[in-house]
Amino acid sequence: MTAKHSRPTSPHLQVYKLPLTGIISISHRITGVLLSAGLLLVVMLFYALSQGEGTYAAMQSTVNFWLVKLIYWGFIYALFFHLCHGVRHLFWDVGDGFEPDKLNKYAKIELAAAFTLTLATWIFI
């Protein structure tokens, strides 16, 4: 028992402060799952379109509620974040960018790129 107590324990997620790269890694998963749930909403969108003008108008008045709009832009940011980190996964797949300083640098670039793309979407589209 005493020997067991003196052994180092693995970093439990509740007490272990994740580095930026760790936060981004789990965020990639979380956004992936959330975006999958968002697919349901996209299918509903196609349903509304197929039902004609009345259903489409009803759908539009719902999505123009501020809370729904906020969720919509949350989804857009999640999509861009998932896309940017996904691109980095593709770089990792070819064996590039594993050095610690590069990992942290690219983590910040990803977050900024996702934010910039969301902002650009908001301004230009």
Partner 1 sequence: MINKLAIFGNGATKSATWHWLMQRITAVILIPLSFQLIVFLNLCMTAPFQQTVAWLKSPLNTICIEVWLLAVFYHSAIGLQVVIEDYVANQELQVKLIKVINLSFLFLAVAALFFIFRIM
Task: State the residues that interact with partner 1 by CB under 8 A.
Answer: 29, 32-33, 35-36, 39-40, 42-43, 45-47, 49-50, 52-53, 56-57, 59-60, 63-64, 69, 72, 76, 79, 83, 86-87, 89-90, 93, 121, 125
How long a stretch of residues is the chain? 125
Which two three-digit tokens encode residue 84?
Answer: 């940017």
State whether the Cα torsion 98-101-104-109 is positive or negative: negative
CB distance 34 to 42 below 8 Å: no
Q: How far is the CB of 124 from partner 1 (least distance, A)?
A: 10
Which residue's CB is nearer to partner 1, number 69 or number 105? 69
* Structure tokens that stand for 68 in this block: 């729904």
- Minimum CB separation of residue 57 from partner 1 in Å reads 7
